[in-house]
Amino acid sequence: MPTARTQDLMRFLAERFPLEKFSFRSLVQKKEVPLHKMAWAYYLGGLALFCFFIQLSTGLLLLFYYEPTVSDAHASVEFITHNVSGGALIRNLHTWSSSAMILFVLAHLVTTFAMKAFEKPREMTWISGVVLLLLTFAFGFTGYLLPWHQIAVNATKVGLQSIEEAGRYLPGELGKLPGQIKELIQGEQSVGQATLSRFYALHVVILPFTLCALLGFHLLSVQLHGMSQGVDKATNKTEAFFPFFLLKDFSLWGIGFLVMFVLALCLPFESFFSFPLFQPFDPLGSTPEGIKPEWYFFFVYYPLELLPFWFIMLASTVALGGLFMTPWLFRPANRRTLAFLACAAALYLIVMTVFGQNIYALFKGSQ
C-alpha cells in the first residue's frame, strides 16, 4: 500500500511526464505553437540547439589535429589555423558558434522567464534548462584552456583561484571543500598537463555526453507539454509545430549559419584581442597585460574585480538558488512583473558585458 508521500510523488511525476502523450500523434501531429507578440522567443531554444550542432561538427573536425599536451597544444592549434585546409574557418566557426550558443541560451532563459514558461507542469523543463546553461558555461570554461596560450592559461588560473578563495568564507571543515574541488579540477600544484588532460576529457567527452542526455530530457519535456502559453491573455491563434514551426525554425538556422559562416570566414575572433595574449603560454616568461575571461563571464568577472569577494559569492549563490527555485518562487507573479525582472536581468548582462571594462576603469582608474 503506497504511503501518501509516495502517492504525491507519483502524482507529481505523472503530471510532469504524461506518458499518455508519448505518441507520434501527440508529440508531432497534434503539437501547436501559440502565435502572439512574443512568439519569436520560441525560436531561441532551436537556435541554441543549432549552435550546439555546429559545435559538435566543428569540434569533431578539430579533434583530428588537436594534441592535448602542454608541449604541443598551442603548436597544433597554430597548425590547424595556418596549415590545414579550411582549418582557420573551422576553428573560427567553432569559436563564433560557441559565443552564439551562449548568447542564445541566455536569451532563451531570459525570455522563457518573462513568458512564465516555468509554470506547472514545466518545472522540470526549467530546471533542466538551468543545468544546460551551467553546462554551456562549463563548455566555455574548459574549451578556453585548450589552445594553451597566454590568456587561456592565465584566465584559467584566475578562475580556479576564485574557487579556492571561496573556502575562506565557509565555516569549519566546509572551508576545505572549494580547495579540494580546485585540486580535483586542476590535478596538480599549478595549471599544467594534468589540468589540460582533465579539461580536454571534460570538454570533448564528459560534457558533450552529459549535455546530450540532458538535452534529450529537456526536448522530450518540451514536446510532452507543448509550448507554454507565453502571454497573460491566452491566444486562440496557433500554428502546427509540424511542419510550419519546424520549417520556419530550419529557415532561421539557415540564416544563422550564413551569418556565422561569414563571420568565421571574414572576422577571426582573435582579432578583437591583443596579439601577445595568443602566444604560447610560458611559465617562466612575462605575463601579458589584458588577461581576462571570455566575454560571457564578464557579468561576474568585473563585479568580482570591483566588489568584495564574499559579496559576489553570496550574490551568486542567491542568484543560482533563485534560478533553480524560480518555478516556486515566482509562481504567483504575473507576466508583466516577470517581464520587468527579465528586462532588468538582460540590461545588467548587456551593460556588464559591453561596458564592464569602462565601469572598472571608472572606479579603479585604469584597466
Partner 1 sequence: MALRVAILFGVAALAGRGAHAYPEFQRYSQQVSGRFVNCAMCHVHPDGPIGLKPGQIGKLTPAELGQLNSARGAFLPGQDVMNPILNEFGNALLKKLGKKRILELRLQPDQLADAYGYESDIDGDGVPDAHEFLQGTDPVDPQNGAPWALFTHNLRRYAFPHLFLLVTATALGLFGMNNLLKWFHQTMDKGSPEPGATGTKH
Per CB under 8 A, does 81 bind partner 1?
yes
Burial class of 134 by CB neighbour count within 10 A (0 to 12, 13 to 18, 19+): exposed
Q: 33 and 27 in contact (C-beta within 8 Å)?
A: no
CB of 361 to partner 1, least distance (A): 12
Per CB under 8 A, does 229 bind partner 1?
no
Per CB under 8 A, does 274 bind partner 1?
yes
Per CB under 8 A, does 243 bind partner 1?
yes
C-alpha cell of residue 101:
550558443
Per CB under 8 A, does 267 bind partner 1?
yes
Closest CA to 233 of 42, 43, 45, 38: 38
Q: Could you identify the residue written with the cell 575571461?
A: 293
Residue 322 and residue 319: Cα distance in Å, rounded? Answer: 5
Closest CA to 108 of 97, 117, 96: 117
Q: 145 and 199 in contact (C-beta within 8 Å)?
A: yes
Q: 129 and 108 in contact (C-beta within 8 Å)?
A: yes
CB of 202 to partner 1, least distance (A): 26
Q: Which is nearer to partner 1, 254 or 322 (CB)?
A: 254
Counting residues that bind partner 1 (by CB under 8 A) gives 40
Q: Of residues 271, 332, 365, 366, which one binds partner 1 by CB under 8 A?
A: 271
Q: Which is nearer to partner 1, 137 or 261 (CB)?
A: 261
Q: Of residues 38, 65, 288, 349, which one binds partner 1 by CB under 8 A?
A: 288
x/- mask, partner 1, residues 181-220, rule CB under 8 A, reads ----------------------------------------
x/- mask, partner 1, residues 84-123, rule CB under 8 A, reads ----x-----------------------------------
Residue 227 and residue 9: Cα distance in Å, rounded? Answer: 24
